């Protein structure tokens, strides 16, 4: 299983959110010496499937962000099907419930010491309190994240995906053990895009993030390597 990052650069996960597997592999090769993990999400996996992920994994461990969410048997079967491509991290939705989370963890353990870290997604960083309320969830984003965090960790998730704004509260409640992967990270001067709950890299790590996910501010920068190096320097 992937170890916690030991250097500032190792905390950085660029999101390869593109539909061109060749371009993603080229970006992976360019960035690999300057980051820790590379994210393959729905767009790239949908465009190229396992071969696209393998093309990225040649250069760095892969955070496979598919956010699996289905009945327990289906999610367990999906995890088993993904093990041969050896993702270092794999996401499921905490809202799938304890049985689904436990089934995903059990399926992942078939890979032994090489199993992926199972990360439960709490509340997407594009969602704010008003959006939650519109779907019938009361109490705001922080309370919903904390509810789902406890549910997921009690059911066997190794860690969580949450916004930077909930990291400190999760650390207070659950200590240092859970892995925390944090999207919604934007360097100073970067556009928020479709993110609602954001912070800078240094703020996210100071709150207790293990890894930070940074997509467009790195991959769409005029100089992606310089952008990644600047974030590492900020964290140092």
- The residues facing 161 across adjacent strands are 121, 181
In what side-by-side order are the strands of the sheet with 117-121? Answer: 12-14, 211-214, 179-182, 159-161, 117-121, 89-93, 62-68, 38-41
d(CA 114, CA 97): 25
- How is residue 146 written in tokens? 């904390």
Torsion angle in degrees (nearest 10) through CA of 74, 21, 11, 121 = -30
| 137 touches 144 (CB < 8 A) | yes
d(CA 149, CA 86): 25
d(CA 152, CA 202): 26
Beta strands 159-161 and 62-68: pairing type? unpaired
Place of tokens 């690999």: 32
Which is the catalytic residue, given 1, 17, 54, 67? 67
Q: Tell me if residue 67 is catalytic.
A: yes
CB atoms within 10 A of CB 152: 30
In 3-state terms, what secondary structure has residue 111? helix
**Residues, the chain:** 236
Catalytic residues: 67
């Amino acid at each position: 299983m992937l170890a916690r990052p030991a250097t500032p650069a190792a905390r950085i996960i660029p999101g390869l959110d593109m539909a061109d597997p060749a371009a993603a592999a080229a970006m992976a090769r360019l960035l690999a010496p300057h980051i820790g993990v590379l994210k393959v999400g729905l767009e790239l996996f949908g465009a190229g499937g396992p071969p696209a992920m393998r093309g990225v994994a040649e250069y760095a461990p892969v955070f496979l962000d598919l956010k699996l969410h289905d009945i327990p048997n289906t999610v367990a079967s999906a995890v088993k099907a993904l093990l041969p491509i050896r993702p270092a991290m794999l996401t499921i939705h905490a809202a799938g419930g304890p049985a689904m989370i436990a089934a995903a963890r059990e399926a992942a353990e078939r890979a032994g010491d090489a199993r992926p870290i199972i990360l439960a997604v709490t509340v997407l960083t594009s969602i704010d309190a008003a959006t939650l309320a519109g779907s019938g969830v009361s109490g705001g984003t922080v309370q919903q994240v904390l509810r789902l965090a406890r549910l997921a960790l009690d059911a066997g998730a190794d860690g969580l995906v949450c916004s930077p704004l909930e990291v400190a509260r999760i650390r207070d409640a659950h200590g240092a053990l859970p892995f925390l992967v944090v999207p919604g990270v934007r360097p100073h001067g970067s556009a928020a895009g479709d993110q609602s709950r954001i912070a800078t890299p240094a703020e996210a790590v100071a709150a207790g993030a293990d890894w930070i996910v940074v997509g467009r501010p790195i991959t769409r920068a005029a100089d992606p390597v310089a952008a990644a190096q600047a974030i590492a320097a900020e964290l140092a």
